Amino acid sequence: MNVTCGDCGVNEGDLHQPGCDMELCPFCGDQLLSCQCKYKKLGIDVSPGSWAYSHGLTDAQQKDWEKLLSDKGRVPFILYPLICAKCGALWPDMFMVPDREWKHYIQINMRDQIICRPCYDGIVALIGPMTQRQ
């Protein structure tokens, strides 16, 4: 089965195209486009009012960052399935509940996991309704 990145279109196992929203940072594991590693690793001040804060990297700094990425090893595209942590359902539909509700019903060590809606509803039924004081 040929799997491709939904953003840049590369095949599974290949490196993302430059600027792809789905590429992960090899230093922190977060989204490469939005992490702050390039500034930290290059020792660049990005505090409000600094040049980099409003302009980003210079061309020379960008080349230095690309070398750091290359030396560290960029993260290839691999599609990992989303799986419900309770029942194991593949690719469950996403849903949202208020943070307060999620924290009430989902135990602390599972709050960063994916839970499908049927499992979530089952947990809510087991625990019962939230009260005003909770």
> DSSP string spanning 10-60?
PBTTSBPPTT-TTPBPTTTSSBTTT-SHHHHHHT---STTSHHHHH---HH
> How much is the pLDDT for 132?
56
Radius of gyration (C-alpha) of the chain in whole angstroms: 20
Tokens for 90, please give them: 């593949």
pLDDT in tens, the chain (134 residues): 689 999 999 999 999 999 999 999 999 999 999 999 999 999 999 999 999 999 999 999 999 999 999 999 999 999 999 999 999 999 999 999 999 999 999 999 999 999 999 999 999 999 999 875 55
The pLDDT of residue 131 is 75
Q: How many CB atoms lie within 10 A of CB 39?
A: 19
Residue 133: both structure tokens together: 């004081």
pLDDT value for 2: 86
How many CA atoms lie less than 13 Å away from 62 in the CB half-sphere? 8
69 DSSP assignment: H
Give the pair of three-digit tokens for residue 105: 């019903």
Six token digits for residue 125: 């039924």
